[in-house]
């Protein structure tokens, strides 16, 4: 099993929910978040502006993001990544990232089921 931690633009949330619903995920956890990537929260695509940020000390600006955590079977991972890229890649900086972690085991508290049966 893998956990996908997806940090996305808030306006893409409905698309992500649809993708996860379509793969019949067992559940998801969502957080509203603030964050920045390599541009330190500057929302321009202008490469010169980005270089300027890298060359001089600037104050980091945090932008609203949504963080979605979902644990899925290994075989679903690449399909989900493909779908998320299809819907969330806008060709502009700030589209977000997907962090992928191994999950050793899961327990459904109500029944005691373990592993993929507990997803």
What gap in Å lies between CA 108 and CA 97, rounded to an integer?
28
Could you tell me the smallest distance in angstroms from the CB atom of residue 39 to ligand ATP? Answer: 5
Using rule CB under 5 A, residue 93 touches Mg ion: yes
Side-chain-facing half-sphere of 48: CA atoms under 13 Å: 0
Instruction: State the minimum distance, in angstroms, from the CB of residue 50 to ligand ATP.
Output: 8
Nearest approach, Cβ of 30 to ligand ATP (angstroms)?
14
The smaller minimum CB distance to ligand ATP, of residues 56 and 110, is found at 56
How many H-runs (helices) and E-runs (strands) does the chain carry? 3, 4
């Amino acid at each position: 099993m893998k956990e996908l931690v997806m940090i996305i633009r808030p306006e893409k949330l409905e698309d992500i929910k649809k993708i996860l619903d379509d793969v019949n995920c067992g559940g998801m956890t969502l957080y509203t978040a603030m964050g920045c990537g390599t541009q330190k929260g500057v929302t321009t695509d202008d490469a010169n502006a980005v270089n300027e940020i890298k060359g001089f000390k600037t104050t980091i600006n945090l932008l609203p993001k949504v963080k979605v955590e979902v644990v899925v079977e290994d075989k679903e991972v690449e399909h989900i990544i493909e779908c998320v890229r299809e819907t969330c890649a806008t060709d502009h900086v700030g589209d977000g990232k997907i962090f992928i972690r191994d999950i050793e085991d899961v327990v459904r508290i109500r029944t005691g089921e373990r592993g993929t049966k507990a997803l």
